[in-house]
């Protein structure tokens, strides 16, 4: 059978553009409207997406209330609770939620995701993150953000315990950070085990993914960056006794699509015009782990930055783009505010499909996590314009062929 790309629908309240909530067609109170999320999940399921994907943070995303009140990231449901509700409103689409290895315990989290997996008939997935924000750290003992290496060492053992519990093998674990005496009081998953997703792209993050992940959600701005990441991660799989196809690599993509290119560009410019400079710079600062970026001339270049203990790979991606494209802080902030460093495509359905097809057939991606700029409009546009074009080209399914998320993704059932 010809390989077909995988598609995730990354849900995020009003939308992924930082100013989405200001768009006249956005749903301003979307973050706490369950009917809104049900509508989005049903739209994605009708379009045959593999999964809906939810991120999370164990705290506010912006400490400055004045800035936070001007972003689309301020309020929203706890995602595992949200997906439990969506599980009974959908029947086929996968349900993937983010949860932190720094602010949870493996026994409780394994039990929660396995319960969601049973409730949904084998459609659950866990996106493992180590959490890189000092704002989150302040909510858990005020000990500050732990060093990157320490977070990943804890994550490695955390993942080992969780997957062991899902496979019925981790009772009696006594390790450096965790001890677990009993098995879970649940039978094996309908799909063998919930799908493991990861988003870390640092060197240690890639090793953790090669060891344990089924899906990797990543960020890349160019085909060359995506191809290098894809080849590197697939090449690490043999070290852990795994085949390259045992992991699906899905870069984030934020398309702005319309019937004509001119209309798509007008839609994009309309969104960009809604970004206050202070909001864009604050968002950029949070991902670069620099608190005083606002002190530098906004129309000057990005200053030299110390290596981050936060999101190392994202900092490197942004710095590379700023140097490569010669962007000022203002230009970089406005670009970053559109999709937080993920790939953005503006054009017609055919133009968007051309770009996705080139990355997919060029060996830079197994699929994409679609990040609409605002909801529901841009998800609707992708579902009604781009998906049919991908289907016409034989690049995407016309109907589900399995029942579980593993079956959708073409992943092996764990022994």
The pLDDT tens digits of the residues spanning 162-213 come to: 999 999 886 789 999 999 999 999 999 999 999 999 987 889 999 999 999 9
72 confidence band (pLDDT: 50, 70, 90): low
For range 358-384, the mean pLDDT: 97
Which DSSP string do the residues of 303-355 spell out, in sequence order? Answer: PP-PPPSS-HHHHHHHHHHHHHHT-BHHHHHHHHHHHTTSEEEEE-HHHHHHH
How far CA 323 is from CA of 301, 303, 337, in Å, comes to 8, 10, 18
Between 3 and 314, residue with greater pLDDT: 3
pLDDT at residue 148, as a whole number: 86
- Mean confidence (pLDDT) of the chain: 91
pLDDT at residue 295, as a whole number: 86
> Would the pLDDT of 412 be above 90?
yes
pLDDT at residue 371, as a whole number: 97
CA 390 distance to own-chain centroid: 22
- Which residue reads 């981790």 in tokens? 170
pLDDT at residue 63, as a whole number: 73
The pLDDT tens digits of the residues spanning 97-152 come to: 999 999 999 999 999 999 999 999 999 999 999 987 878 888 887 567 788 888 99
Low-confidence winner among 20-29, 47-56, 84-93 (lowest mean pLDDT)? 20-29
309 confidence band (pLDDT: 50, 70, 90): low
Q: State the CB neighbour count (10 A cutoff) for residue 336.
A: 25
Between 385 and 19, residue with greater pLDDT: 385
Count of residues for the chain?
A: 415
pLDDT at residue 142, as a whole number: 57
Closest residue by Cα to residue 282 from 332, 325, 219? 332
Write the CB contacts of 135 (distance below 8 Å, at least 6 apart in sequence). 57, 59, 60, 61, 62, 63
Write the CB contacts of 242 (distance below 8 Å, at least 6 apart in sequence). 210
For range 316-343, the mean pLDDT: 87
How far CA 234 is from CA of 286, 317, 362, 363, in Å, comes to 30, 20, 14, 11
For range 19-41, the mean pLDDT: 91
> Would the pLDDT of 74 be above 80?
no
pLDDT at residue 170, as a whole number: 64
> Would the pLDDT of 278 be above 70?
yes
For range 248-263, the mean pLDDT: 97
> Would the pLDDT of 1 be above 60?
no
* pTM to 2 decimal places: 0.91
Low-confidence winner among 47-56, 173-182, 273-282, 370-379 (lowest mean pLDDT)? 273-282
Find the DSSP H helices in 88-222.
Answer: 106-119, 134-137, 148-166, 203-212
């Amino acid at each position: 059978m010809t390989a077909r790309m995988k598609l995730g629908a990354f849900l995020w309240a009003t939308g992924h553009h930082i100013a989405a909530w200001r768009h006249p067609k956005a749903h301003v109170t979307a973050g706490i409207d369950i009917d809104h999320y049900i509508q989005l999940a049903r739209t994605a399921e009708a379009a045959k997406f593999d999964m809906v994907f939810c991120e999370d943070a164990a705290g506010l995303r912006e400490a400055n209330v004045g800035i936070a009140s001007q972003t689309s990231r301020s309020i929203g449901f706890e995602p595992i609770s949200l997906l439990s509700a969506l599980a009974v409103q959908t029947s086929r689409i996968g349900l993937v939620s983010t949860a932190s290895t720094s602010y949870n315990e493996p026994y409780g989290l394994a039990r929660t995701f396995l319960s969601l997996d049973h409730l949904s008939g084998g459609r659950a997935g866990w996106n493992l993150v180590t959490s890189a924000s000092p704002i989150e750290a302040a909510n858990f003992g005020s000990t500050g953000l732990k060093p990157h290496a320490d977070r990943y060492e804890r994550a490695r053992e955390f993942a080992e315990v969780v997957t062991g519990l899902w496979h019925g093998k981790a009772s009696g674990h006594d390790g450096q950070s965790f001890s677990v005496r009993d098995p879970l009081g649940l039978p094996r998953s309908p799909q063998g085990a919930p799908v493991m997703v990861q988003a870390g792209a640092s060197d240690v993050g890639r090793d953790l993914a090669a060891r344990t992940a089924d899906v990797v959600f990543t960020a890349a701005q160019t085909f060359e960056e995506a191809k290098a990441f894809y080849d590197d991660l697939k090449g690490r799989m043999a070290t852990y006794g795994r085949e390259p196809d045992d992991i699906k690599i899905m870069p984030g993509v934020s398309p702005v699509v319309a019937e004509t290119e001119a209309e798509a560009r007008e839609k994009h410019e309309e969104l960009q015009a809604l970004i206050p400079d202070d909001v864009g710079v604050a968002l950029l600062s949070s991902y670069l782990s620099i608190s005083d970026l606002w002190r530098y001339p906004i129309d000057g270049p990005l200053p030299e930055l110390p290596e981050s203990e936060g999101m190392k790979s994202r900092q490197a991606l942004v710095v590379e783009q700023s140097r490569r494209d010669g962007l000022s802080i203002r230009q970089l902030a406005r670009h970053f505010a559109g999709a937080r460093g993920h790939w953005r495509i503006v054009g017609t359905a055919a133009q968007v499909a051309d770009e996705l097809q080139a990355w997919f057939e060029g060996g830079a991606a197994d699929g994409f996590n679609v990040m609409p700029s605002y909801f529901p409009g841009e998800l609707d546009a992708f579902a009604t314009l781009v998906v049919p074009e991908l289907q016409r080209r034989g690049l995407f399914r016309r109907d589900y062929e399995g029942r579980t998320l593993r079956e959708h993704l073409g992943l092996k059932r764990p022994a």
